[in-house]
Structures are given as C-alpha cells and as structure tokens.
A and B are shown apart, each in its own frame.
Chain A
Amino acid sequence: MRHTLIALVEDRPGALNRVLGLLRGRGLGLHSIAVGDSETPGVKRTTVLVDTESVEQTIKQLNRLIEVLEVTDVTNAEYVVRETALVKIHAPEPRRDEIKTVADVFGARIVGSSPQTVVVEMTDTPDRLGEMIARVMAIGACETMRSGSLAMALGGPTPRVNAVSEDATRVWWSQADGIS
C-alpha cells in the first residue's frame, strides 16, 4: 500500500543517500520524494511516497538512520498535499488560445514561451495535475516534469521521533489483548 511519510532529515552529506539506499535495500517501492529546507536550519523536511506492506517496519527502519530525526505517516491523518508540474507544449500561434483556455480551467499559468512552445506551470493535488496533463497531452505536450508531492498534516505540530516507536509499540500490544 502507498503511504505518505514526512521525514525530518539532518542536512549532512549522504543523509538523503542513506534514506534512498534503505528503501532500495529493503525492497520498497519509492514513488516520489521531495526534499527542501525546513523551518530549522540544518534540517530538511522531506515528503516520501513509498509502497510498503508494513509501514510500521518502514518507519522503524528509517528511524534507525542516525540522520533521520523524525518520521510521520500522514496517510490516514488529515493532511494537504500539493505538487507542482511544468509542462512544455508544442504551441504554434493558432493553438495558443486553446492552451490558455485549458490553463485557465485548471488554474494553471503560462510561465514562459518560445516561438514553438509554451511552458505551463500548475500547482495542485497530484490527481488534478494528472487531469491537466492528460488534457494538454492531447493538444501537443512534449515534456512534463513533476516535483513530487509535498504533504503537510493539519492541526498541531507532528510528534517527535521517540513517539513514533512508542506508538508502534502500543499498536502491537493493543492487538494482543484487545484493549487500547
């Protein structure tokens, strides 16, 4: 099953390499990863979309990495997700109105153009991006690029790293005796 994980990772050489290497080594499918600065200097906040049969195991394994400070699975939480796409469309002058109309429908913007092409930028949910891309492919898109999903949980700050393993423990033991 696909899970959306948010991880805080120290900004040190090789740290991201460790995260990716772990997913590969444990045979997990990486769908997308987006990395950028967090509010804390020296710490990157990353959104990882990963296919895993046991998200508890995946989180615990990620937590074993020294540079991973915190991992949260927001898949079943209330969260917002956004992704940016850039789409280059083959656009001789007669087609440009059509492209502009489609862009307006999806809330996308034309952010650059050359005599033969325009580049459309759109930020929305991954599903909406998919719909937009399908539409412009029919018009003559020739190149698409997507940023990978950014996810953010609603509500208060995400729990700290130690809480992850403790929560996982509770899951196991409440399964044992039927109490929570």
Chain B
Amino acid sequence: MTDERTGAQVMCEALVREEVEVMFGIPGGAIMPFYHAMWEYRDRLRHVLCRHEQGAGHAAEGYARSTGKPGVCVATSGPGATNLVTPIANAWMDSTPLVAITGQVSSAVLGKDAFQETDITGITLPITKHNYRVSRAEDLPSVFREAFHIARTGRPGPVLIDVTKDAQQARLVPDWNVTLNVPGFSAPVGLDPRAIREAARILAGASKPLILAGQGVIISDAVAELRTLAERTGIPVVTTLHGIGAFPEDHPLSIGMPGMHGWVHVNRAIQECDVLLSIGARFDDRVTGKASTFAPRASVIHIDIDPSEIGKNVKVAVAIIGDARAALRALIELIPPRDAAIWLRNIRETQATHQHRQPYMRRPDTTELMPHDVYAALNAALNKRGGYRVITDVGQHQMWAAQLIEWRRPRTHITSGGAGTMGFAVPAAMGAAIAHPDETIWAIVGDGGFQMTNQELATIGQEGIKNVKVAIVNNGYLGMVRQWQQLFEGRRYSGTPLTGPSFAGLAEAYGLRGFTVDRIEDAEESIRAAWDHDGSVVLDFRVQREANVFPLVPPGLSIGEMITREAPA
C-alpha cells in the first residue's frame, strides 16, 4: 500500500524527476487534485499563483528563455486552458521550451459539454510541438517523460498535457521504469560532412561574406563557437531580433540588426553580400522584407536544426541540418583563416553616413522627454552595472530597445518576436526574476502592452519579488500602429489614442514603488534609483507622443528600400 499514489502525486513526482523548480498557474475545479497533491511537494516545487493564466504562461516563458530550461504553467479546464492559448502560441513561434499542464473534466462526462469543458488538445493542435490528453493515470509517467523530452529536444517548443480529473484522482502504483518511445520524433543525427565541406569551400571563396545569427546560436549554446568562427574569418556578424546577445555588439565584427527596423548599413550589406551564412535563424518576413528580393547576390548557407526551415522562405545553396554548435565546430575545423577587411570597411563607411545607434530623427527643438533619452540612460546603466536581463514587449519601445541598447550577452534580451504578443513583458520579467533572483530584470514595455497584463504586479507583490523594474515608454498611443497610420494612412489615428490610470499610482496600489518621469534630466536618476531600490519598481516615462521608429522598411517592400525619416511636410 505504501507505494500507492494518486495520479496527481505522480504528476508532482514526475515534475520533480524532470528537475522542475517552479511552476506558474491558477487552480480550478478540474485541476484541484493536482493542487491538493502539490501541497505535499511545496518544499521542492514552488507554485506561483498568477492573476491570469496568460500571465502564468508568459512567466513560464520568461523563466524558460532566461534559463534554457523548460518553463511550466498550470491551468484548469475550460477558460483556464483557453487563457493559456496565447502564451502557447507565443512559445511555438519563438521556439521556447514550455510544458503546459491543464486539468480536464472527468472521463465520465468528457464530450458531454460538461461544466468548464473545452477540447484544449484540439484547440492547441497547430501551436504545440505535441500534446496529450491523459485519462489513464498509468500513462502519466511516460507522458511526462515524453513531454519534457519533446519540449526541450531539437528545436524547443511547447507541449501541452491535459489530464482528466479522474486520472488525477485514480490510485496506482506508478511504474517509473519508463523508456522513451517516440519513433516519429527524430532529432537530427550526425551532420552531413559533405554539406560542411561545401559550406567551408563557399565561405573560403567569398569576397563579401556575412553571418546572420539567430536564436539558434543561443539555444545551442554556440556563442563562443560563433565568435571563434567570426574572428578566424573576419566575417561581419548580423544578429536578428532573437539573435541579440549571440554576438557582443561592442565587438569590431558586430554590425547590428537587419530587417524592417534594422540599420541601413546592415540591410545594404545583406543585399550586397555574396555569401550569407545563416545560423539558427528562420528568415522571418520581418527580417527578409519581400523575400524574393532578399540577398539577391548571395549563396545562402543555412544551418538549422529543423529541416522544415530549409528553403521555406529563402532559396538555400547549402543546407546544414543539425545543432548550431556542432555545425560551427565542424566548420571552424575546415575553414582556413582569412579576413574580410575591405568589405567590413565598406559597411562601416555606410554605417558612418547613417549614424549607428543615434536617433535617425532630428530631436525636435523642445524640452520634451524623447524615447531616445530613456534608452540612452538605460543603456548606460545596464552596461555599467551588468547583472541584468531585459524583457521587452511588442511595438515601438521594443524596436528602440533592440536598436539603442548595446547588447553583449546571450539571454539578456528576451522578447516576443514571432507572435508579437503585447502583454508579454511584465509576466515574462516576473518569470525571469524568479529564475535569477540575484539579477535585475528590466521590463521595457509600452503603455498599451503594460495595460494588457499589469495585473501580474499583484503576483510580484504577493511573491515578494524585488528585482523587477518596469520601464513604461508611455506615449499615450498604440504607438507602432499610430506610426503606420501616420506614414501610410494619412494620419488617420483610428483606434490608437490611449489613456490609462496613473501607472505610478497603480504600482503603489499594488504595493510596489512607482515614479512618473517626464523630464530629460530625471531619466538617468530615476533609473539609478529604481535599480538601487530594494523592491520592484514601475517607472512611467512620459515621452514625446509622436516619436517614430526609424529606419523602417515599409511592409511588402525589399529591405533595400528603407525610410529613414518622416517625409518633409
């Protein structure tokens, strides 16, 4: 009898076996047996009660993206589960290892439109790597083993486990002697040596080679290898939005970010290069612009662990399917030392004309606080102090952060890229803060995104989390949409002006500190004070309302066609 457990206890035991330390969630009827069992495991499994399941999902993502380990979120059936859909979709688009556990109504009433019943495995079918509905408790050990294996192996992604209430309640003697049996899930085996040789040959003969580094470099822990390859060959390195941190931006070979809000000199380099070595990047349309005109002179060498990314958006000359670190190591062995000094000098000349890391727009002759003042102060503080991670949300503030902060280390810049989920930053920062209690976690967020998930400030308060510092770049608009309306739709600001409460007052109401900042001279001091304060803080930066993000590739155009300022009035 002593070996007998409930299904819910088996679920807890499985999480401990997978080395899970913390999960984010909200209980409800169909998941109550799991919460009942969780109480016995509370010294080993921390549960963070969130205020909305979306917040729980993004918090798990923030945990996962900052550590590389799977994040775990929990919800009940029905609305609890459907509230997880957005974070699951976000994790799917951004290749984040996430395990979502949902309660389901009992098998006896399944399919009868029972209270809080939703077909969550059906709903999440196209946004999970895999999902499971478990109605037999005996299946729990193997399902949890498989789910964590699938979530973290190869190209990471979300896996959902839906457990009926009766399976959680059932009593069983669990069989932990689980062998993984997923014949249809094959991580790539060895690298193709012919492809490596061919890539090395093409790179050696290139006169204008370029490296495009994506998140795959970070996921594969290949930052050192990328640096070795770049330094050995002198090839300039471009980092995508998710590749930020894969290569230090203060390195002489770093040239910056490409794409819709990339730098002019970077996009021109892509359009001119003769070989483009892409490592763990998937040629998203925000990087390529009009894909048929992307890198027209280049032979593309594409390293990716997911075969389905090869040739999806861009025609590829050589495909290397496999782990980025292994592929880079193999390439480094074969590629002779070289340099690309003349090519790099050309790029730097273009860059000098277009002022890297400077506001493209001329500062208006006013004393108004500009977003750029905020980022200049943040950049100085981050790079002086270290020990930080930054989570950004989606919109103008996100692009300014990517452009105007000099990023140096992997997993210090975390954002919602593929799905573009507003509301990501505050809960994700909370998850990262729990994973890294000794670091300072900045959430940079617009006033629109902040108002989508700021209820998690209550969670931050309840959990006593002291290291979240929220910087709201508040312009009173859904700014990126407003910018498009200004530039492409004749300034018809339809549905974009936005008010809010006093965000500083809101923070105080949640038991955190809050400050409103609207003068240039206060930007630096407020960031210093927030950083030094022994508790979480919200800074509400009231910036000039119609500042725009430049440069900009208009939607549907080639990345060679950039707008660098407003058209003269």
Number of interface residues of A (CB under 8 A): 31
- Contact stretch, chosen from A64-72, A75-83, A118-126, A145-153: A64-72
Instruction: Say which residue of A17, A64, A66 sits within 8 Å of B182 (CB atoms).
Output: A66
Interface string of B309-331 (1 = CB under 8 A from A): 01110001111010000000000
B130 within 8 A of A: yes
B308 within 8 A of A: yes
Verify A57–B312 contact, CB threshold 8 A. Answer: yes
Verify A13–B133 contact, CB threshold 8 A. Answer: yes
Verify A57–B311 contact, CB threshold 8 A. Answer: yes
Interface members, chain A 12-36 (any B CB < 8 Å): 13-14, 17-18, 21-22, 25
Shortest B512–chain A CB gap in Å is 41
Shortest A56–chain B CB gap in Å is 6
- Contact stretch, chosen from B191-199, B369-377, B478-486, B517-525: B191-199
Q: Which residue of A lies closest to B131 (CB)?
A: A14
Distance A64 CA – B547 CA, assembled complex (angstroms): 43
| Given A161-B186, A172-B319, CB of A21 within 8 Å of CB of B126 | yes
- Cβ of A14: which chain B residues have Cβ within 8 Å of it? 121-122, 125, 133
Q: Which residue of A lies closest to B308 (CB)?
A: A60
Interface string of B159-193 (1 = CB under 8 A from A): 00000000000000000000000111110110010
- Cβ of A166: which chain B residues have Cβ within 8 Å of it? 192, 321
Shortest A121–chain B CB gap in Å is 35
Shortest A176–chain B CB gap in Å is 4
Q: How many A-B pairs with Cβ below 8 Å?
A: 79
Interface members, chain A 41-84 (any B CB < 8 Å): 54, 56-57, 60-61, 63-69
Q: Which residue of B lies closest to A10 (CB)?
A: B184
| Given A172-B318, A173-B198, CB of A165 within 8 Å of CB of B188 | yes
Verify A172–B125 contact, CB threshold 8 A. Answer: no
Interface string of B115-158 (1 = CB under 8 A from A): 00000011001100110010000000000000000100000000
B150, B192, B308, B319: most-surrounded residue (chain A CB, <10 A): B308
Instruction: Say which residue of A21, A64, A168, A173 sits within 8 Å of B125 (CB atoms).
Output: A21
B306 within 8 A of A: yes
- Cβ of A176: which chain B residues have Cβ within 8 Å of it? 198, 202, 299, 316-318
Q: Which residue of A lies closest to B312 (CB)?
A: A57
Interface members, chain A 142-180 (any B CB < 8 Å): 161-162, 165-166, 168-169, 172-173, 175-177
Verify B186–A22 contact, CB threshold 8 A. Answer: no
Interface string of B186-219 (1 = CB under 8 A from A): 1011001011001000100000000000000000
| Given A14-B125, A162-B189, CB of A169 within 8 Å of CB of B306 | no
Q: Which residue of B lies closest to A18 (CB)?
A: B125
Distance A169 CA – B310 CA, assembled complex (angstroms): 8
* Complex A-B: 25 CB contacts under 8 Å: A13-B133, A14-B125, A18-B125, A21-B125, A21-B126, A22-B126, A25-B126, A57-B312, A61-B308, A64-B306, A68-B184, A162-B186, A162-B189, A165-B188, A165-B321, A166-B192, A166-B321, A168-B307, A169-B192, A172-B310, A172-B311, A172-B317, A173-B318, A176-B299, A177-B198
Question: Residues on B close to A: CB < 8 A?
Answer: 121-122, 125-126, 129-130, 133, 150, 182-186, 188-189, 192, 194-195, 198, 202, 299, 306-308, 310-312, 316-319, 321
Since A17-B122, A162-B189 are in contact, a sample of 20 more A-B pairs with Cβ atoms closer than 8 Å, ordered by chain A residue number, is A10-B183, A10-B184, A14-B122, A14-B125, A14-B133, A56-B311, A57-B311, A57-B312, A60-B308, A61-B308, A66-B129, A66-B184, A66-B185, A69-B183, A161-B184, A169-B192, A169-B307, A172-B310, A173-B194, A176-B318
